[in-house]
Each structure stands twice: as structure tokens, then as C-alpha cells.
Amino acid sequence: VPNSPADDVPQGADEGDNVEVKVWGDKPSFDFTPVEHYEIASVKPGMDFETASKTSGARFVMLKGGVARIHRALAQFMIDTHVDENGLTEVNTPVLVRDEAMYGTDKLPKFGEDSYQTTNGWWLVPTSEVPLTYSVGGDTLEQSALPIRLTAHTLCFRSEAGSAGRDTAGMLRQHQFEKVEMVSITHPDDSDAEQQRMVGCAEGILEKLGVPYRTVILCSGDMGFGARRTYDIEAWVPGQNCYREISSVSTTGDFQARRMNARFKPEGGGKPQFVHTLNGSGLAVGRTLIAVLENGQQADGSVLLPEALAPWLGGRREITAEGVLV
């Protein structure tokens, strides 16, 4: 049985009924027809799908040279921002987890087919939400310990069983990808405000990078199994001439807490209560790379990079038309 939506969640059947709540940034204007990330001349040498297909099959990529460095810089920029400015605690988590962790974070049994399981029973994490959230599974916390705010940069693994034929070109939808995740464990009275804070953290990354985006609240029919309320943040990708999801920020209320028996002791006494858990991408690294490359592309095939990223790139601000990071 899925979670019940919050009262302010719009009723609807699918993504067509989601409601736009914010639009930020001016879409870049080009005097040429912008192309998708994998078609940009300077990017092609550093985005090798052919070799990845040889080693691993479809929906994999090998990033090389400057493109690989930009991808790594984006992840470091995100983590450092969340730790230094947003007050999250960095965690280096396992990417192999037990059944209990997947069940407690509502990934089992419903989404088992979309995840990878090893022959000896571990699951490869579909998101670091799983180990971060389950870190309080079975615990009874002191109220004074709340909120707990965590972030992690990990590999994520998804079979994309329900996405056959969708987004097959480029690196938009991969079996293996990197994501910076945010998780908050809160007092029930604070979870709605915490969700707004987390949305702001995710939006802030895109604003620092100068990537236009919009934020939508998902309708009841488009939300995930365990979500009580979800905001999607969608980055503008000129090559596709549309917005694409780059972050999803959800509150589950006490849905996950009940599944994994995570409670806290009220300061005023009384029996332990269930915590509230929240999670959100902060952000998907590969999709952020796509957005940065497509918004920064130039007519000669070069790419201008965000100024905010320069400290993580040794001051470099551009991929030349020849594919050199300078």
C-alpha cells in the first residue's frame, strides 16, 4: 500500500497534471541550432559510448579527459556546497546493502525489478538514500539529535526495467550513474519546513552554475510509492528544447520510519514517536553535466563553463573546439 499524499498535493493522473511553482533563469539564446550533449564537437572525444558498450553493453558511458574532470568537479562542488554552506554532514556509504535496508526505504518489494541484486544477496544501491536513511533504522533517537542532515556522493545502479526505448541516446538514462544525495531525519512538526529547505539547497546548486530550471510539485498520480509530497527540479536542456528532471525532493512523513522502526524520545516525556524522513538529489551528477554542457555550447563546438566551477577545475573555464580544457 503506497503512502497517502499530503493535503496540498494536487490531484491528478500523470505528469501532465503536475503544477509549476517556480521558474528561474533566462534560457540562453543561440544564433545557431543547439545540439544535444553527445553531439557537441568538443565533447565527443571525452564521451565514449562505443568503448563502454564493448565492455558493458547499452546505457553505459566512459568519460575521458576534460569531460571526466568536469564531471568529477561537479560532484565535488555539490558536496562542498552542501557541507560548507548548507550544513549537511558528509557520509561515505556502502553501495551494497541488505534486504532490510531496501525494504525499510520502500524500495522493496515494489521496485525489486528495477534494482540489481548480487548472487550472495546484497543489493546495489539505486540511490544513497537507502544507506543514509536506513542508518537510523531500528534506532530510538533523542529529540535533541534532530534534525539529522546527511549528504553522500555515490555510484547508483538501476536496471531501468520500465524504461525500454526511452532516452537511449546520450547519457541521460544510465544503468550506472553518480548522484549527490541529501537525506534529513526530522521531528514530525519540522518536516514540511525541512522539505522546503532541501528544495532550496538543490535549486541553489543550479543557480550557482547559472543553469535555468523550473520546480514543479508532483500530482498524486505521479508521485513515488513512499512519497507524501514531491517537488521535481527540472533543468533546461537546449539540445532537447525542454526541461528535464535533475532532482526530486520528497518527504515520506513517517512511512519509511514505520517500515524501519526509527523513533525518537520526546523531550517532554511520553512514548517514543516515529521520526519523519526526507530525501532529495543534490544533484544527479551526469544530468548536471548534460545541462552545463548544453547551456554553455558555442557555435564553433566549444563550451563555456560556469565560473562557479572554476575553483574545482584549477581555474579552467572552457572546453576548446578541439576538446582541450583550458
List all residues 6 or more positions away from 233 whose beta carbon is below 8 Å from its beta carbon: 199, 202, 203, 206, 213, 214, 215, 245, 246, 247, 248, 249, 283
Residues 42, 128, 247, 248: which is the catalytic one?
248
Kindly give the residue spans of alpha helices, DSSP state H, lying in 57-157. 65-84, 99-104, 129-134
Residue 35 CA to residue 12 CA, distance in Å, equals 33
3-state secondary structure of 130: helix
What confidence score (pLDDT) does residue 173 get? 94
What is the per-residue DSSP string for 169-194? Answer: STTSS-SEEEEEEEEEEE-GGGHHHH
Residues 59, 149, 158, 228: which is the catalytic one?
158
Residues 59, 197, 287, 302: which is the catalytic one?
287
Q: Is 69 a catalytic residue?
A: no
Residue 283 CA to residue 182 CA, distance in Å, equals 9
DSSP state of 10: P
Residues 72, 98, 173, 317: which is the catalytic one?
173
What confidence score (pLDDT) does residue 168 get? 80
Residues 100, 245, 258, 316: which is the catalytic one?
245
What confidence score (pLDDT) does residue 97 get? 99
| Residue 251 near residue 227, CB atoms below 8 Å | yes
| Torsion sign, CA atoms 5, 11, 12, 18 | negative
What confidence score (pLDDT) does residue 228 get? 98
What confidence score (pLDDT) does residue 239 get? 97
Return the amino acid letter for 51: T
Return the amino acid letter for 118: T
pLDDT 10s per residue in the chain (326 long)? 899 999 999 999 999 999 999 999 999 999 999 999 999 999 999 999 999 999 999 999 999 999 999 999 999 999 999 999 999 999 999 999 999 999 999 999 988 999 999 999 999 999 999 999 999 999 999 999 999 999 999 999 999 876 777 788 899 999 999 999 999 999 999 999 999 999 999 999 999 999 999 999 999 999 999 999 999 999 999 999 999 999 999 999 999 999 999 999 999 999 999 999 999 999 999 999 999 999 999 999 999 999 999 999 999 999 999 999 99
What is the per-residue DSSP string for 252-298? Answer: -TTHHHHHHT-EEE-TT-SS-EE-EEEEEEEEEHHHHHHHHHHHHB-
User: All domains of the chain, ordered by start, with CATH?
Assistant: 15-33+92-296 (3.30.930.10)
Q: Residue 148 phi/psi, 5° resolution? A: -105, 125
Q: Is 158 a catalytic residue?
A: yes
Q: Is 144 a catalytic residue?
A: no
3-state secondary structure of 235: strand
What confidence score (pLDDT) does residue 169 get? 85
What confidence score (pLDDT) does residue 98 get? 98
The burial of 37, by beta-carbon neighbours within 10 Å (0-12 exposed, 13-18 middle, 19 or more buried), is given as buried
What confidence score (pLDDT) does residue 160 get? 83
Contacts 24+ apart (CB under 8 A), 113-117: 113/159, 113/161, 114/158, 114/159, 114/160, 114/161, 114/162, 115/157, 115/158, 115/159, 116/157, 116/158, 116/159
